[in-house]
Structure 1
Amino acid sequence: MTWLITGGAGYIGSHVVKAMTDRGERVVVLDDLSTGRAERLPDGVPLDVGTVLDPEAVDRVLRAHAVTGVVHLAGKKRVAESVARPLYYYRENVEGLRVLLDGAAAAGVRRFLFSSSASVYGMPDVDLVTEGTPCAPINPYGETKLAGEWLVGAVGRVHGMATASLRYFNVAGAAEPALGDEGAFNLVPMVFERLEADEPARIFGDDYPTPDGTCVRDYVHVEDIASAHVAAADRLAADPGAALTLNIGRGEGVSVSEMIGIIHEVTGRGDLEPEVTARRPGDPASVVASAALIARELSWTARHDVRAMVESAWAGWRLRHP
């Protein structure tokens, strides 16, 4: 069996590649390197530089490597950018997925694992978000992920693919320093970047209906995200009729203010009081996962706590910013 991992040279993708190759799986990567880096990949993993928007590139890599399963992580993920550029996000995230599924179906691929997001839920008015919680995305990024789930499910039913859509919550940390998150788009690296510049961390709004007024999120170590992919891939290989939609989370909410406090402790920069600015468009107040279904379906649970995420992320940041 050979797995194609799109976006495999990126932050999450490189962790999935590592987890799958550590398990002895044959893996090939398709990545346009717009945010990924080839040096993230283990020795011996083939890299085809191209985009899922290019049918010829998709067909080339699928057939050249006799791909039997796809893990699709390539795409755009910045919420605020999606609000400003909805057409761009629909092209990158929905049209790119359509091209990839079209090629996969034509090549006889029978397993398809899709990177979705908790953003499909929008602003759920529940303490814990289950897979049965109504989906009502509030930004174009979330809309493209929900549309992607529908597309994957429909194609899977028609073409006999075993499918899974994994709804990630907030990803942080690193399995090893060289694989750390280099983009300053997620909270933890955003705070690191500010502290390194001797500037206070930013809190985008402190008037949300949460205990301390700042947004609450369910943070998941990227190494746990990768292990969930391995578990899902195993399930798709064993169950040709699988059609799964699963949360990946810890079931524990941490506020932005609390997370910044942990970052201050780990970095030793507690002298910088956070700066409160205006809310960002498209940010819900609180989104925390129920991870009960993935535990039942895949026997998977997260292993790392929030401090481990911050410590591992900081080690990676210091490697890149000595």
Structure 2
Amino acid sequence: MIDRDEKPAVLVTGGAGYIGSHAVLALLDAGWPVVVIDNLVTGFRSAVPDAAIFAEGDIADQRLVGRLIAEQRIKAIVHFAGSVVVPESVADPLKYYENNTVKSRALIESAVKGEVRHFIFSSTAATYGIPEQVPVAETARTEPINPYGWSKLMSERMLADTAAAHPLNYCALRYFNVAGADPQGRSGQSTAGATHLIKVAVEAATGKRSHVSVYGTDYDTPDGTGVRDYIHVSDLAAAHVDALEKLIADPETSHVMNCGYGRGFSVLEVLDAVDRVTNLKLDRRLQPRRAGDPDALIADNSRILATLPWRPRRDDLDTIVADALAWERTLAGRGGE
């Protein structure tokens, strides 16, 4: 554990977004000075706490990023900024290679020029594509099936090559299905038109949507619907804090680690949980399966458990749903963001 007085400033890109804002909260709660850069295209200024320094701008603006690194004495970067909607990446691949790969390259170059020593990257289980074995380990073949997955995998490759050539170490955290909201109600998923199942389901539970579509009932799973490993966003944020301390403590070593709980729930099991938590019955509408969706995607999380002191604290499906629902009700009370 690094002494609070010795903690250097951390630059969080995309810190006004869903996962980034939770990481900012976790870092601040742990005593880290935080600087946020976000262009607010999909993020919300209101999601950034007053305790963090905020700069509106693009991570590809190397003059701005370089100035922030120098003026704030940044020694670590936690990189969330990017585009994250898989179907959109198929329809508009160049947007994803620009936002997720080209701009990450500019940010990594700014880090090298500014002598930033530590870099945490928001990666994804989409780097695995359709895994040959479930649970999927970090050693599995990486063969993405969409531009989103490829754009993230390319950034991982850039980090590995840069770390081999420069005094920088990194941790790429491959997220599985992120859900929930800050238990204290300070942040949550506010994105309009979100596609994640739990977000969609709690929107339906609060009347924002008329129904929930179930895409595919013929998968090779116990109830025929796709199975995913859902991780609470606050547990995920905590993993970034632990990863940062690991990078600083062992500056010669880099890491790639899955972030998940190691067990999965089907679409119907998730909807049952929403029904339980709300005491309602969601309108479920069966649709054909979507191209490229694997039957099951579950993390082998043994590496992160062995490498970091991180342990899940909110790994209960009903808890994840309840926190997501509480945030959705907060949004409804505000009339949206």
Report how far residue 177 of structure 1 moved.
Answer: 2.4
Q: Is 233-242 or 206-215 further displaced after alignment?
A: 206-215
Structure 2: distance between partners of 1:281 and 1:99: 33
How far did 1:188 drift?
Answer: 1.1
Which 10-residue stretch deviates more, 276-285 or 222-231?
A: 276-285
Write out per-residue CA displacement over residues 64-88 of structure 1, whole angstroms, 9 at most, x where no aligned residue: 2111100001010100000101111
Q: CA deviation at 1:166?
A: 0.3
Alignment of 1:3-42 (within 5 A): 3-42=10-49
Query: Residue 122 of structure 2 aligns to a residue in which SS?
Result: strand
Residue 205, structure 1, aligned to residue 216, structure 2: yes
Report the counterpart of residue 290 of structure 1 in structure 2: 300
- 1:189 alignment partner in structure 2: 199
Does residue 158 of the first structure (1) align with residue 165 of the second (2)?
yes
- 1:280 CA displacement: 2.7
Partner of 2:120: 113
RMSD: 1.3
Give the C-alpha shift of residue 243 in structure 1.
1.0
CA distance in 1, matches of 2:65, 2:277: 43
For residues 113-146 of structure 1, the C-alpha deviation after alignment (integer angstroms, 9 at most, x for no partner) is 1110011111112121111111111111011111
Structure-2 separation of matches of 1:138 and 1:198: 29
The SS at the match of 1:321 is: helix
Range that drifts further, 300-309 or 137-146: 300-309
Match of 2:235? 224
Please report how far the alpha carbon of residue 198 of structure 1 lies from its aligned counterpart in structure 2 after TM superposition.
Answer: 5.9
* Aligned mates of 2:104, 2:300 — CA distance in 1: 27
Q: Deviations over 1:217-268 (max 9, x none)?
A: 0000001001100100000111111210000110011011110111122122
Q: Distance in 2 between matches of 1:100 and 1:221?
A: 28
Distance in 1 of aligned mates of 2:185 and 2:274: 16
Contact 1:218–1:289 (8 Å) recurs in 2:
yes
Is contact 2:27-2:34 (8 Å) kept? Answer: yes
The aligned residue for residue 302 of structure 1 is 312
1:82 to 80, 89, 92: 89
**Residue-by-residue CA offset, 1:158-194 (whole Å, 9 max, x unaligned):** 1111111000110111123241111222111112223
Name the residue aligned to 2:332.
321
Moved more, 291-300 or 93-102: 291-300
Provide, for residues 256-293 of structure 1, a one-character-per-residue CA deviation record: whole Å limited to 9, x for no partner.
111011112212221x3410112233322211001111
Matched, 1:241 2:248: no
Q: Distance in 2 between matches of 1:197 and 1:63?
A: 45
Partner of 2:263: 252
Secondary structure of residue in 2 paired with 1:179? coil
TM score, norm. by length of structure 2: 0.92
Instruction: Check conservation: 1:83, 1:281, Cα contact below 8 A.
Output: no
**CA distance in 2 between partners of 1:101 and 1:171 (Å):** 25
Task: Give the drift of 1:60.
Answer: 2.3
User: Which deviates the most, 102-111 or 34-43?
Assistant: 34-43
Distance 1:290 1:219 in 2: 13
Aligned to 2:171, the other structure's residue is in SS state strand
Alignment check: 8 A CA contact 2:202 2:324 kept: no
Q: Give 1:301 deviation, angstroms.
A: 2.2
AA of the residue aligned to 1:113: I
Task: List gaps (5 residues or longer) in structure 1.
Answer: none
* Identity value in percent: 40
Is structure 2 residue 190 aligned with structure 1 residue 179? no
Following the alignment from structure 2 to structure 1, what is the Cα–Cα distance between the partners of residues 129 and 28? 34
- Structure 2, unmatched stretches of 5+, are 1-7
Do the aligned residues in 1 keep the contact of 2:210 with 2:283 (CA within 8 Å)?
no
Partners of 1:43 and 1:74 lie apart in 2 by 20
Contact 1:205 1:214 in 2 (8 A): yes
Taking the aligned partners of 2:211 and 2:76, their CA distance within structure 1 comes to 45
Aligned residues: 321
TM-score (norm 1): 0.96
3-state DSSP of counterpart to 1:220:
strand
